[in-house]
């Protein structure tokens, strides 16, 4: 069982542990002409860069990207970033490791998340929407993928169970928003939330590391999701075509703009609400991931890829001021009052 995780490593620490190979590349310095093996190594707590300077020529062909390897190395800080100076790399047989050690996972209970999703779906009042959503969520070929899929490769909820966590979070957000804007159709908004990213179960692969399937590369999750939903709609006898059109529109427009990959702009209340809820939840999740990392300088985090900026850790700026200065100020005020002159009316000062 793996005992050393990336989040636990410190400068100068000797490391002998297993990692998932995210990438490998032989690089050569144009200045010195010296070559080295460059690795990106990962486990469920993060990713770390590794450099092997000597003896890699006989090792490099023994493992590939997405293989699990045992690494002997030493951790060191370089340009304020922790990396590994690698001494040896040995491939590890599949029977000798637990894949869960290498893929990040939602901190929430997946089965409880799925139960909350199912409860929301069954609470839909529109019988057509309810039938459609149940047919998707309870499909035996979809449910296991839905429980496992990440919501993205890197930007937000990029871990096992991330898609389900994202969907349930959006359901809870939508209840607050719909109570404030009663003109929103709750069932239609629920359909958009449950279905908008359903194509990611076919777009993304998470067998050993996260990657895109061939269909995912060619079509993307919006087209794949629309196809899944259309098949389900066509399997429901007499499903209303106008309702089908506005539900598919939610999928096609949820990125909000053409430049971000939506084939259509949001053209209904529910589509606009879905876009902004989706954007809010994804960005807050991305910020949480950045804040949880120790990387960065001082009070500032490392660059957040979703927001394309560094973020300030504000906890110390929001701390309650100590009470001692206020007490001292009050005491000083009393003392000054006691020592003040009586005035200029002939009384003693």
**In this model, does residue 88 exceed pLDDT 80?**
yes
Helix axes 110-122, 186-195, angle to 10 degrees: 140
pLDDT at 349: 36
Specify the DSSP class assigned to residue 95: G
Domains of the chain are 6-98 (2.40.50.140), 110-290 (no CATH)
- Backbone φ and ψ for 124, nearest 5 degrees, come out as -60, 140
**In this model, does residue 327 exceed pLDDT 90?**
no
Distance CA 64, CA 21 (A): 7
The pTM score is 0.74
pLDDT tens, residue by residue, 293-318: 777 888 899 888 778 899 999 988 88
pLDDT at 7: 87
pLDDT tens, residue by residue, 236-269: 999 999 999 999 999 999 999 998 889 999 999 9
Distance CA 112, CA 165 (A): 10
Buried b (16+ CB within 10 A) or exposed e, 17-41: bbbbbbebeeeeeeeeeeebbbbbb
Written as six digits, the tokens of 238 are 């007499």
Question: Quick one: which of 175, 189, 190 has its CA closest to 137?
Answer: 190
| Dihedral, CA of residue 197, residue 226, residue 136 and residue 157, to nearest 10 | -10
Report the DSSP beta bridge partners of residue 75. Answer: 84
pLDDT at 261: 85
């Amino acid at each position: 069982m793996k005992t050393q995780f990336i989040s636990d490593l410190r400068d100068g620490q000797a490391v002998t542990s297993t990692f998932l190979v995210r990438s490998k590349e032989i690089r050569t310095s144009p200045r010195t002409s010296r070559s080295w093996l460059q690795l990106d190594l990962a486990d469920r707590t993060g990713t770390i860069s590794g450099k092997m300077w000597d003896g890699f020529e006989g090792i490099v062909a023994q493992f590939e990207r997405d293989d699990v390897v045992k690494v002997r190395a030493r951790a060191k800080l370089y340009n304020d970033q922790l990396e590994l100076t690698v001494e040896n790399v040995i491939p590890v047989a599949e029977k000798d490791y637990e894949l869960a050690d290498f893929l990040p996972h939602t901190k929430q209970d997946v089965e409880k998340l799925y139960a909350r999703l199912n409860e929301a779906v069954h609470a839909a009042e529109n019988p057509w929407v309810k039938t459609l959503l149940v047919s998707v969520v309870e499909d035996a070929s979809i449910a296991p993928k839905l429980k496992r899929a990440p919501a993205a490769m890197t930007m937000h909820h990029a871990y096992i169970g991330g898609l389900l966590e994202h969907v349930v979070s959006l359901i809870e957000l939508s209840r607050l928003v719909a109570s404030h804007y009663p003109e929103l159709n709750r069932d239609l908004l629920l359909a958009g939330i449950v279905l908008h990213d359903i194509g990611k179960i076919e777009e993304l692969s998470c067998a050993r590391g996260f990657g895109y399937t061939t269909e995912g590369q060619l079509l993307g999750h919006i087209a794949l999701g629309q196809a899944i939903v259309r098949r389900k709609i066509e399997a429901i006898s007499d499903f209303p075509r106008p309702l089908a059109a506005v539900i598919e529109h939610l999928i096609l427009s949820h990125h909000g703009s053409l430049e971000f990959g939506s084939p259509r702009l949001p053209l209904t209340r529910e589509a606009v609400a879905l876009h902004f809820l989706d954007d809010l939840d994804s960005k807050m999740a991305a910020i949480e991931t950045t804040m949880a990392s120790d990387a960065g300088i001082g009070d500032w985090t490392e660059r957040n890829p979703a927001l394309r900026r560094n973020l300030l850790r504000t906890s110390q700026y929001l701390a309650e001021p100590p009470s001692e200065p206020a007490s001292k100020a009050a005491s000083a005020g009393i003392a000054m009052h006691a020592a003040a002159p009586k005035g200029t009316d002939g009384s003693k000062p």
